[in-house]
Amino acid sequence: MRVLVVEDFEVLARSIGTGLRREGMAVDVVLDGGDALDHLAVTRYDVVVLDRDLPGVHGDDVCRHIVAERSGSRVLMLTAAGTVKDRVDGLGFGADDYLPKPFDFSELVARVRALGRRSASATPPILRAGDVTLDSGRRVAFRAGRRLELSPKEFAVLECLLTVGDRVISTEEILERVWDEAADPFTTAVKTTIRRLRVKLGDPPFIHTVREAGYRIGDR
């Protein structure tokens, strides 16, 4: 899941970004509305965690822009103002959900995941290929009935592979979907994560390397 965090309080913004990455999400963090619009112009996000009171371009206007563009990105609006009127106003601008500050981080994660399942590019809650099953809601995966003990990044990569089915997916596309804009394009993170996944999936091989193209799942 690709997430954009827009929050002008840098300590909070970085903290949210770090926490969501630990949950296996690809997260970009910006500190003002103008930078948010720049990112939205070039990257398709599943969920935008949007502070309402932003410098420059106000959060309300960023929300209106997302709705007008019909990108399918879902908006979780954050604000220190938690009155009923504030919530009604935020939802009226097109936000999909509203979370007043201060908030519990586990609730933020749950709401982001719920919105991600509603985004235009959302994957089915249960993904299957051969004897491999992944339940994105429960965050569990199995092979032949055996539960796989996966790290958040391993789970996200497997989810990415299952989402595209039997088509070949490039390292660059996996990097974009599972990591974020700060990821080094020359990193070996994808290769390393795929190697660990193969070990945990066991035999027969489930993830195959397609020379000079990327990876695919299933039978050869």
pLDDT per position as a tens digit, 108-167: 999 998 888 776 555 667 888 889 999 877 889 999 999 999 998 899 899 889 888 888
Are 110 and 162 part of one and the same domain? no
Are 135 and 209 part of one and the same domain? yes
49-79 per-position pLDDT tens digit: 999 888 889 988 999 998 888 778 899 998 8
DSSP secondary structure letters along 90-128: HHHTT-SEEEESS--HHHHHHHHHHHHTTSTTPPPSEEE
Are 158 and 60 part of one and the same domain? no
Q: What angle do CA 210, 176, 192 make, to 5 degrees?
A: 55
Are 13 and 112 part of one and the same domain? yes
**Phi, psi at residue 195, to the nearest 5°?**
-60, -45
Whole-angstrom Cα distance, residue 95 to residue 76? 6
pLDDT recorded at residue 214: 87
Are 96 and 192 part of one and the same domain? no
76-92 per-position pLDDT tens digit: 998 876 555 666 665 66
Tokens of 87: 């919530």
User: What average pLDDT score do residues 99-111 get?
Assistant: 90
Alpha carbon dihedral 69, 71, 74, 79, in 10-degree steps, equals -30
Quick check: is 49 in a domain? Answer: yes
* CATH number of the domain residue 83 falls in: 3.40.50.2300
For tokens 């309402």, the residue is 52
The residue segments making up the domain with residue 188 are: 126-217
* CATH number of the domain residue 207 falls in: 1.10.10.10
Number of domains the chain is built from: 2
190-201 per-position pLDDT tens digit: 889 999 999 999
Are 103 and 167 part of one and the same domain? no
Its pTM stands at 0.68
